[in-house]
Structure formats: C-alpha cells, structure tokens
C-alpha cells in the first residue's frame, strides 16, 4: 500500500534502448586499449580469454585521454536488432497549501538497492515519495527498473543508468526509442537540475555510473554532458567482494547478510562459498538462468572471470577506481551497517581524489543498512532531511563557483543550516557522526584507514 500524501506517481514508464548506439562513446574511449591488445597478439575471445585480456579489465592502459581499464561485452540476452526495453516510474512532490516553499526544479535519477538481483522501484516507492517531499514541491524522481543479475550481469546495469540519464536530458538521442508509455511531456530535463542517487547495490550503481560518465563517456563526446552536480549514496556497496572487516563480522547487528562475496585473490573461498554469492551473481550470472561465457564452462573459468571483473573500477570503485573529476557527494551509513567500512573507505578516497569538491560522510549512531527506509525511525527522518539539505548546498556551491552567486550570498544561505558540521578532515571530507537526537559530532568510529586501504594489494603497476 502507498500512503504518502501530496505525491503523484506515474508507473510503468517505458522506452527502448539500442545498445550499439548507446555504447559508442564507451567503445571510442577504450579503442586504444583493444588496439593495444591486438597489437600484442592477445586473444580477446570471451570463450577462451587470455590472462592479458582479463588483466586489462582492472589494470589500466595508457591512452590518448588517460589510463583506463577495458570494458567487457554484455552477456545477457537482447531482442532481435540489439534492443531492449527499460522501465521505471516517476514520483513527483506536489505543491499544497501547508508547504510555502518555492517550487523545486530538481530531478533525482535513482537506483534501488537489492544486491543487483532483487527489489524494484515499487519496493522503494514509499521511501522515495518521502524523500521527494523533503526536497520540496516540484521535485521529481525517476526511479529506474534497471536490468539485474543473474540474467543480466555487469555491465548491463551501468548501460541502463546511462540510458536513463539520456532519457532525462536528451530524450531524442539516437540510442532511445520512445513510445506512448515514455511520459515525455516534461522532457528534456535541464541537466543542471539532475542529481543521482541510490542505496546499497543501487548506490554501487550510482557511484559506478558517475565514474562511467566521467571516464568512459565524456572523453569521446562533444559537446560534453553536464555532470550531475550531486550524488547521494546510502549504504553504498562499494566493495561487492566483502573484503572489508565489517562485511565479515558475524556479530553485526544488521539485517543485511554477510559475507555476500569473496576476495578476488582467494580462489579457495570462491570455490567453497556456502551461501548465495551475490557478487558472483552480479559479475558472472547464473548458468541455470542465463548460460554465458562467464559461467557455462566450469568453475575454474568462472573464477577467472570473477577474479578479473571483481577488480574492475566500475564493480569495486572503493579499491580500483580513479575517483578524480567527480562531483559533490553525500555518503550516509550507520555504525551497525554491514557495509560500514565500504562507506567510510569510499568517502575517504573520494575526498582525497577531489580536493575541490564537497564530500560529506554521515555515520548514524546505532543504525543499520539503509536505515532511511524505516520511516518510524527519527534517524530516518534526519537522514532524509540531510539528503535534501545536501542537494541544496551542492546547487548553491555550484552556482557560486560559476559566478551566479556571490560568496556573501552563499554564506548568508548556509548560515541557515544550524548545527551542521562543516569542518573537513585531512582527506577533505566532512566526517560526521549523527547521534540519535540528530546532534552532529566531528569524529569517526571504526578501523583506521591504514587497515582498510590494504585489504587489496595496491594497484601500483600500470600497463605501458
């Protein structure tokens, strides 16, 4: 049931995607990687991948734009002609007499959680409606029903995220085929109004999409796309391999199971995994639902693909990705979140790679995984309020940076945020613990970064 008032929902929004046209920028950006592999005589046959080919998925090769890792081909099924249908739904916060705030133009592109294999926009409708209302009347959310494993392993979801972004800002793009169910009356959206968000695996997708847009799309696109000015990450699954300490803590007070993946250098753990390996589901798929080159040729072959792709910067951005060039980002987690360390380490790395951006980490005392969906909790209401406030701060900072707002005007607006911790740590992060009463403390809790940064060997060697 749906009980949120003053909200409009448009369900079953659909449009078709032409994969070849969608991925042209990606292929152009990594063309030098594939050309270099061919020059070396490396086999790129996905049915019999060479060590060098698999290595190119996580060790970057220098090219004309930057060092970048290869991208695997999709292995899920497509319609004849290489098309597929994407779905989603629109949620809009309506104006009403008791809300005097001016109309917001913000459009949130949102990716639901669920381990890249479960849940849907329907499961997140109530929470997103409350978030839209918190962000103000006029706020719209496009909640994407992206393709998931095991039928559609990585990188299908990332391509869907890009297609959804194009649907918003460039609905007449050649990669899209719109129809009567595409709800285009409010399109295109001004790209300056777009923000991106997600929770858990959806936050993994949001983080990966921002990297994909910056590193794989922008270098081969003219004119450049406008990067969404803010990213909202709730309990981000930044390390699907469960390599960090919190993911393996059997005494954790969290409903999120663990571990849900295995270390990419530990073949024994991969082979002996007792429960559902959700990371494997996302990376390789399942042979019983969609036999493909990654899962149908035995466990040893599946391990090779898993080990390589688990280290891809768009799969495990907390370890392998170059995070420079990204935009303002808010990360929210809880001290009893199974992915607590994922969030802390990702915020740490994001701040270090983006010294000129606003990076904020909010650690909610005694809260579990994606606590924001539990509307009865005071901490959930605080979390939604802080998400809305961050989007406003991000927009104001962007406008000030572009000369549309003076520093004095910016300071006057930000003075309204009473009790907000703004001091930055040495890694350029607003590092905050939020207590049960909403009070903020400038502190951290948990394993030191010197421990978390060493769970994988450093990616020091780069292909010439």
pLDDT for 251 beyond 80: no
- Mean pLDDT of the 426-438 span: 93
Taking only the tens place, the pLDDT of each residue in 376-398 is: 999 999 999 999 999 999 999 99
pTM score, whole prediction: 0.95
> If you ran DSSP here, which 8-state letter would residue 23 be given?
T
**Angle of helix 156-169 versus helix 201-212 axis, rounded to 10:** 70
Alpha helices, DSSP H only, in 156-266?
A: 156-169, 201-212
Q: What are the helix and strand counts (H, E) for the chain? A: 15, 13
Instruction: Give the integer Cα–Cα distance in Å for 142 and 121.
Output: 9
Q: For 37, phi and psi rounded to 5 degrees?
A: -65, -40
**What is residue 417's predicted lDDT score, i.e. its pLDDT?**
75
pLDDT for 458 beyond 60: no
**What is residue 252's predicted lDDT score, i.e. its pLDDT?**
64
pLDDT for 129 beyond 90: yes
- Mean pLDDT of the 200-224 span: 97
pLDDT bucket at 177, cuts 50 / 70 / 90: very high
- Token pair of 347 as six digits: 């915020």
**What is residue 250's predicted lDDT score, i.e. its pLDDT?**
64
The residue with tokens 């392993």 is 153
**What is residue 257's predicted lDDT score, i.e. its pLDDT?**
81
**What is residue 462's predicted lDDT score, i.e. its pLDDT?**
38
pLDDT bucket at 254, cuts 50 / 70 / 90: confident
- Mean pLDDT of the 333-353 span: 96
Domain ranges of the chain: 31-68
pLDDT for 459 beyond 50: no
- Token pair of 64 as six digits: 């004309």
Cβ-proximal residues to 375 (8 Å cutoff; 6+ apart), any chain: 126, 127, 130, 381
* Pairing state between β 430-434 and 176-178: unpaired
pLDDT bucket at 1, cuts 50 / 70 / 90: low
pLDDT bucket at 463, cuts 50 / 70 / 90: very low
pLDDT bucket at 191, cuts 50 / 70 / 90: very high
**What is residue 253's predicted lDDT score, i.e. its pLDDT?**
78
Nearest to 63 by CA among 23, 22, 34: 34
Alpha helices, DSSP H only, in 17-136?
A: 19-22, 24-29, 31-39, 51-55, 125-135
Taking only the tens place, the pLDDT of each residue in 53-108 is: 999 999 888 777 678 999 999 999 888 889 999 999 999 999 887 778 888 999 99
- CA 148, 154, 155 angle in degrees (round to 5)? 105
**Angle of helix 378-401 versus helix 125-135 axis, rounded to 10:** 50
Contact 221, 207 (CB under 8 A): no
């Amino acid at each position: 049931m749906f009980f949120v008032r003053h909200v409009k929902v448009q369900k079953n929004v659909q449009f078709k995607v032409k994969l070849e046209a969608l991925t042209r920028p990606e292929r152009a950006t990594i063309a030098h990687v594939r050309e270099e592999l061919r020059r070396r005589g490396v086999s790129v046959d996905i049915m019999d991948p060479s060590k060098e080919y698999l290595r190119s998925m996580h060790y970057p090769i220098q090219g004309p734009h930057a060092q970048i890792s290869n991208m695997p081909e999709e292995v899920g099924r497509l319609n004849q002609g290489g098309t597929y249908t994407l779905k989603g739904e629109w949620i809009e916060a309506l104006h009403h007499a008791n809300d005097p705030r001016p109309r917001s133009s913000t459009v949130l592109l949102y990716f639901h959680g669920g381990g890249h294999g479960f849940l849907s926009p329907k499961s997140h409708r109530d929470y997103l409606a409350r978030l839209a209302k918190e962000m103000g009347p006029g706020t719209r959310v496009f909640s994407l029903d992206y393709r998931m494993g095991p039928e559609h392993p990585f990188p299908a979801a990332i391509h869907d995220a890009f297609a959804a972004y194009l649907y918003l800002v460039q609905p007449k793009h050649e990669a899209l085929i719109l129809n009567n169910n595409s709800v285009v009356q409010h399109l295109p959206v001004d790209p300056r109004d777009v923000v991106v968000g997600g929770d858990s695996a959806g936050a993994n997708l949001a983080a990966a999409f921002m990297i994909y847009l910056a590193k794989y799309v922008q270098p081969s696109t003219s004119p450049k796309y406008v990067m969404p000015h803010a990213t909202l990450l709730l309990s981000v699954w930044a390390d699907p391999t469960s390599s960090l300490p919190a993911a393996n803590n059997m005494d954790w007070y969290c409903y999120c199971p663990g571990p849900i993946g295995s270390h990419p250098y530990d073949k024994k753990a991969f082979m002996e995994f007792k429960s559902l390996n959700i990371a494997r589901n996302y990376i390789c798929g399942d042979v019983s639902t969609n036999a493909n080159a990654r899962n149908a040729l035995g466990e040893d072959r599946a391990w090779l693909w898993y080990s390589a792709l688990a280290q891809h910067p768009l799969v495990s951005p907390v370890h392998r990705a170059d995070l420079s060039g990204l935009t303002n980002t808010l990360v929210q987690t809880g001290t009893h979140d199974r992915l607590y360390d994922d969030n802390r380490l990702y915020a740490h790395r994001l701040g270090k790679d983006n010294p000129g951006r606003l990076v904020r980490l909010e650690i909610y005392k005694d809260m579990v995984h994606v606590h924001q969906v539990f509307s009865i909790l005071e901490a959930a209401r605080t979390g939604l309020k802080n998400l809305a406030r961050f989007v406003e701060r991000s927009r104001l900072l962007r406008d000030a940076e572009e000369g549309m707002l003076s520093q004095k005007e910016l300071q006057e607006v930000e003075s309204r945020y009473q009790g907000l911790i703004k001091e930055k740590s040495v890694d350029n992060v607003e590092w905050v613990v939020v207590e049960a009463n909403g009070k903020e403390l400038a502190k951290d809790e948990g394993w030191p970064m010197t421990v978390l940064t060493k769970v994988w060997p450093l990616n020091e060697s780069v292909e010439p």
